[in-house]
């Protein structure tokens, strides 16, 4: 068995999948509002009930995670908002890297790279937008003024479009030719034991690998 490095701990992996499932359910039940042809699925509001059940999961899961993993949460949030030279470098290298699979073009990256940061950032911000606008529409439909509710719909929809599109990108990147073999990289980090192969770690997150391996040695 090849040498492996732990990338995501179990709570993180569980949260990821729970949240993804909730999001996908929310996405699909929400998508019905965009596609008149799917209207039959929405009859008698049952998709709206599912949407709400998923919304509860979508809200509760991170809260549970946070309460149990304060430090990781805090670290994770910081990661999304603190951008540095590596990220700039990533941005410049990304087109060549992802289009031409030129791995040499990409400088060594920390634990998460700028693309991941961007996704993470969107997930946090638009997740919050979803929750706030969603809760207002859910519980203040009778009380809030019509104009406010209409803006809530609007922003819920903006979040839907942006995060939906980014979800495609996210999922796609896990299939990207660069990620192969899948088992050694992102798939294993989230599906399996939460580890990636040393090669994958070196090639995709060189800086992080160095830190981790240094830490190990120090330990």
Partner 1 sequence: MAEKAILYDATRCTACRGCQVACKQWNENDEFIPEPPYTWDKTVNWGSYENPPDLSPTTWLKMEFREVEAGGKVRWLFTRRACMHCTDAGCVRVCPNGSLYHDESGFVAYNKDTCTGCGYCVDACPFGVPRSDRNLITGIAKMDKCTLCTSAGLNRLNEGYEPACVKTCPPDALVFGDRNQLLAEGKSRVQALKDKGYVNAYLYGEKELGGLHVMYVLDDHPEIYGLPANPQVPGTTVAWQSVLQPVGWAVGGLVIIGLGINYLVAREAKLARALPAKKKEE
Q: Find all residues with CB under 8 Å of 58, minimum gap 6, and list them.
A: 19, 22, 23, 26, 127, 130, 131
Q: Which of 63, 71, 85, 177 binds partner 1 (CB under 8 A)?
A: 177
Q: Does 40 participate in binding partner 1 (rule CB under 8 A)?
A: yes
Count of residues that bind partner 1 according to CB under 8 A: 48
Based on the shown chain and the rule CB under 8 A, indicate whether residue 43 belongs to the binding site for partner 1. yes
Residue choice 2, 24, 49, 64 for contact with partner 1 (CB under 8 A)? 49
Q: Residues 1, 85, 100, 219: which binds partner 1 (CB under 8 A)?
A: 100
Establish if 91 lies at the interface with partner 1 (CB under 8 A).
Answer: no
Q: Which of 11, 172, 192, 214 binds partner 1 (CB under 8 A)?
A: 172
- Nearby residues of 108 by Cβ (< 8 Å), 6 or more positions away: 86, 205, 206, 207, 210
Q: Of 17 and 168, which has the nearer Cβ to partner 1?
A: 168
160 contacts: CB under 8 Å, gap ≥ 6 = 27, 30, 130
Q: Helices (DSSP H) in the chain: which residue ranges?
A: 10-31, 39-42, 46-68, 70-81, 85-100, 114-139, 146-175, 186-190, 198-204, 206-218
**CA pair distance 153, 130, nearest whole angstrom:** 10
Give the residues lining the site for partner 1 (CB under 8 A).
32-36, 38-40, 42-45, 47-49, 51-52, 98-102, 138-139, 141-142, 146-147, 149-151, 153-154, 157-158, 160-162, 164-165, 168-169, 172, 175-178, 180
């Amino acid at each position: 068995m090849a040498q492996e490095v732990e990338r995501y701990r179990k709570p993180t992996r569980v949260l990821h999948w729970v949240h993804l499932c909730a999001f996908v359910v929310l996405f699909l039940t929400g998508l019905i509002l965009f596609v008149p042809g799917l209207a039959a699925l929405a009859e008698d509001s049952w998709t709206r009930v599912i949407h709400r059940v998923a919304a509860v999961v979508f809200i509760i899961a991170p809260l549970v995670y946070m309460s149990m993993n304060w430090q990781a949460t805090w670290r994770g949030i910081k990661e999304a908002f603190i951008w540095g030279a590596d990220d700039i470098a990533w941005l410049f290298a990304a087109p060549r890297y992802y289009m031409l699979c030129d791995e040499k073009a990409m400088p060594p990256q920390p634990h998460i790279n700028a693309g991941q940061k961007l996704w993470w950032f969107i997930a946090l911000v638009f997740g919050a937008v979803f929750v706030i606008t969603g809760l207002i529409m859910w519980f203040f439909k009778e009380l809030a003024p019509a104009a406010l509710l209409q803006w809530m719909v609007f922003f819920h929809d903006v979040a839907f479009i942006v995060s939906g599109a980014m979800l495609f990108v996210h999922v796609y990147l896990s299939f990207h030719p660069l990620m192969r073999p899948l088992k050694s990289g992102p798939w294993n980090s989230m599906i399996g034991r939460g580890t990636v192969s040393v090669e994958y770690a070196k090639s995709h997150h060189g800086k992080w690998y160095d830190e981790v391996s240094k830490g190990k040695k120090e330990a």
